[in-house]
Structure 1
């Protein structure tokens, strides 16, 4: 039986790795007529495509969803849906908030945020709390909100609107729901008010920097991207680290002792970003399969990270392995500029968890995955901990 794959299928989304294994072995170039895309799964092919921005263009956006996939994607997704030279200019502007020095200086502040939210979570119901809602969402959202300049009193509301704006229809099409559209409009209105405040009274934050260089219609989609990419991906990384260390108790002691290795193997094993879409600009042939110019390409990062040609015994969660060739943050011109910050946030948060929690259990029946775009993560992760 031929392998079948759809990134919009909720059943596949629950556990996609058996399908990825078949794609890697049987269909390294996979064409879906129903969903209108071509998927690449092998590490060598995905890595090469990520580096080749001329043939694999970002001009239609990184998401398969329709919309925002298409020539209007930059209006919704800013520089992540652009090629040079505009991408280069906007990325350089935003990267001023993510310099190595600035990220390193954030560690004590991130640790304080993690400790505060963890202390609040541990006070709930005798150590029973939702790991995602009560901890994993809150830490990265606070960090990126402070970088942007979102006041503390607004953050819970911004988080709720941001989550709702990403909700898809439950019909397998990947389309944004009406609830998502309404929340997106409300969040855009909030961003417009915050921009107006910064234009009147600049502050020491990234939004004030953007206000110096760009108009409102350029800033608003950029804020959507920064909030989503800067919080949702780290939330999902933390949820996966917590879950897979629980599912693999033989790795728990090492995870607690080396949060850096815990982060890196989790990024390889179950990355927050499943894949990235690209527009093919010329006819090519891969593995004997012709692919026409104009094709919607789906670069399956999560499958490439399980390619046995690169990672021996790829389905084993092993914190001792060499993860240096994983591509969880993309590659080429669009390599994630927040990768260092995301790694730092996750490492610090997991260190604080290891210091405060002697042991824990997850209720698998209550664990629920989100079904949002090109990311994979948990919406809920009920946990009971034994504090130290």
Structure 2
């Protein structure tokens, strides 16, 4: 696309998805509010506008879902689906989940996460080439979510594959959406029933026991269907995004070997490397919202009932917010990025994703201080909601 052509962004266009950042730069500069007439949605791409949209839940509502295809399908959202609710009901369910998803519980998982990372990498002893996604990045979050929920290790792969499959699309095609497909809770039904009879020290048991005051003022525990919805959301959200983070860490550090060498020598840089990677290559590029009222922005009117795409990946590189925002720098001072959202829908699993990323990177560097990506054989995932590596073959060894 030449710069003289009209700017165009399409979340379903796989060619654009290969490297969408030049399009994002043009949107910020030429059309900070832009309308896609082919798919009927609006786009905000600048830091200030995207931040404002994330915070203003009353105008930019989550009640119809955070994904464009879900908003367009106009389906009934099951109760307890935090990503698809607004206050006050959202806050009731979020507080409940926050009680069983505490920072203390997350930090307590560190020894188990580290032990699993070591086990996973032990399997690769002697290998000089492997697919980082298949052999490591996809495995770690699957095991962690399984530990949290109390799902037997033998069943965790099936759970992940079914959760991931819901996000997959054919290249260039939209996600197929229905209430049943969106919330495929059947796979967890047996686990819930088993845990009801055999309580344990896991999140599923805590959800079964937790009492709360619902939106009608009734003190009660969650229904079986509500627990199934919670568990389904957690299993899906915790697998795909964290795996993509680990993949981006490996890919970006291959492209910046000097920074990788800096990191090998100074592990104190790991937490900031996680933040810079999340800023520079967020796993989810856009968050969709339903516009509840007419809004005036950049000299245009966005009518009530519209779908709005908040381009997080563009905002995270906005030149008005970040000095040299298009440059990857693990020593960059980062006080805030918006990869995990902002405001009422800030990601509850952010601390867990950071912990997993930190441990995974630390153990990867312990085992393989250098690697080379076989870029000719990499593959990006086919999804309109996530951008990350489906396949990332690497060769290990060297200095």
TM-score, length-normalised on structure 2? Answer: 0.90
- Of residues 228, 240, 260, the one that matches 2:236 is 228
CA-CA distance at 1:73 after TM superposition:
3.2
CA-CA distance at 1:171 after TM superposition:
4.4
CA distance in 1, matches of 2:229, 2:286: 21
CA distance in 2, matches of 1:255, 1:233: 23
CA distance in 1, matches of 2:341, 2:229: 21
Give the 5 Å matches for 1:1-388: 1-66=5-70, 70-74=74-78, 78-123=81-126, 126-175=127-176, 181=181, 188-212=185-209, 213-256=221-264, 257=266, 258-386=269-397
Change (3 A) 1:67 1:84: closer
CA distance in 2, matches of 1:347, 1:19: 31
Counterpart of 2:214 in structure 1 is none
CA distance in 1, matches of 2:72, 2:384: 10
Change (3 A) 1:97 1:129: farther
CA distance in 2, matches of 1:175, 1:67: 12
Change (3 A) 1:198 1:219: same
CA distance in 2, matches of 1:67, 1:221: 19
Aligned pair count? 380
**What SS does the aligned partner of 1:321 have?**
coil
CA distance in 2, matches of 1:27, 1:43: 14
**What SS does the aligned partner of 1:38 have?**
strand
For residues 103-143 of structure 1, the C-alpha deviation after alignment (integer angstroms, 9 at most, x for no partner) is 122211211111111111334xx231110011001111111
**What SS does the aligned partner of 2:123 have?**
helix
CA-CA distance at 1:69 after TM superposition:
5.1
CA-CA distance at 1:160 after TM superposition:
2.1
CA distance in 2, matches of 1:71, 1:189: 19
What are the ranges of 5 or more consecutive residues in structure 1 without an aligned counterpart? Answer: none
Change (3 A) 1:252 1:359: same
TM-score, length-normalised on structure 1? Answer: 0.93
What are the ranges of 5 or more consecutive residues in structure 2 without an aligned counterpart? Answer: 210-220
CA-CA distance at 1:94 after TM superposition:
1.4
CA distance in 1, matches of 2:232, 2:169: 16
Q: More deviation in 202-211 or 278-287?
A: 202-211
For residues 9-32 of structure 1, the C-alpha deviation after alignment (integer angstroms, 9 at most, x for no partner) is 111111111111111111110111
CA-CA distance at 1:387 after TM superposition:
7.9
Change (3 A) 1:73 1:387: farther
Cα RMSD after superposing both structures: 2.0
CA distance in 2, matches of 1:249, 1:359: 8
CA distance in 2, matches of 1:311, 1:97: 36
Change (3 A) 1:109 1:69: farther
Change (3 A) 1:68 1:87: farther
Q: More deviation in 188-197 or 41-50?
A: 188-197
